Amino acid sequence: MARYTGAKLRVTRRLGDLPGFTSKKAKSNQRPGQHGATQKKLTQYAMRLEEKQKLRFNYGLSEKQLMNYIKAAKRIKGATGNILLQLLEMRLDNLVFRLGMAPTIAAARQIVGHKHIMVNNKCVSIASYQCQPGDILTVKDAKVSKDIVINFLESPALSNIPQHLDFDKKTLTAKVLGIVDREWVALKINELFVIEFYSRKI
């Protein structure tokens, strides 16, 4: 998506916690706007729209990118919603974030884009790169690259590294052990609603 430069807490007050978007917590859970205190029951469409927006903001996707991921998920055998989350979770920028090398997915995207991350000993600067089981992720052997990552590792946004990743903080080397399990997706979301939202568009 085009880089969002607005108030992040305004977004999280409307959509709830988005760990990949910001680690900041709103002081109030009240929805933004003049009528935020009035809890109106959401329509079926509004509920599905909110879940879709959660996915877009958390992973930093444009509408077109999200639709392409849904199309890709539908082509793979299995539950489309679960496969969609797997595709998003296995993006290189998300793995850098989940390893604690960056405070948000947007920050991880910058780290990848500035060529600080190696995959299987090759520099990869494409944030959407789809990692596979067996891939080895390392920090580029340069002082500036290591300093950036080490600084972020001191205060990771999420406390637990998911089970499909193995990370050696001393060598700044990680291995993708497998595909992420649904229970390890940090974002609280009803992925079925997202698929239903796009059901008539794709």
Q: Per residue in 15-70, pLDDT tens? A: 888 889 876 665 556 555 555 555 678 899 999 999 999 999 999 999 999 999 99
Residue 3 lies in a domain: no
Give the tens place of pLDDT for each residue, 61-102: 999 999 999 999 999 999 999 999 999 999 999 999 999 999
Does residue 159 fall inside a structural domain? yes
Average pLDDT value for residue range 132-139 = 98
Asked whether residue 79 falls in the same domain as residue 97, the answer is: no
Same domain, 60 and 116: no
pLDDT of residue 33: 53
Q: Which tokens sit at 71?
A: 């199309």
- The verdict on 190 and 149 lying in the same domain is no
pLDDT > 70 in the chain, percent? 88
Angle, helix 63-74 to helix 80-89, in steps of 10 degrees: 120
Domain assignment present for residue 2? The answer is no
The CA distance from 99 to 149, in Å, is 10
For residue 190, being part of any structural domain is answered with yes
- Residue 128 carries which DSSP code? T
Same domain, 80 and 96: no
Per the structure, how many domains does the chain have?
2
- Asked if residues 131 and 138 have their Cβ atoms less than 8 Å apart, the reply is no
155 shares its domain with 143: yes
In a domain, 1, yes or no: no
pLDDT averaged over every residue in the chain: 89
Same domain, 106 and 83: no
For residue 170, give Cα distances in angstroms to 12, 81, 111, 198: 34, 36, 19, 44
Residue 111's domain comprises 91-178
Look up residue 60 and give its DSSP letter. T
CA 169 distance to own-chain centroid: 21
Q: Is 171 left (phi over 0), alpha (psi -120 to 50) or beta?
A: alpha
50 and 98 housed in the same domain: no
134: domain CATH number? 3.10.290.10
Confidence (pTM):
0.87
Based on the domain organization, do 128 and 106 belong to the same domain?
yes
* Pair 41, 60 in one domain: yes
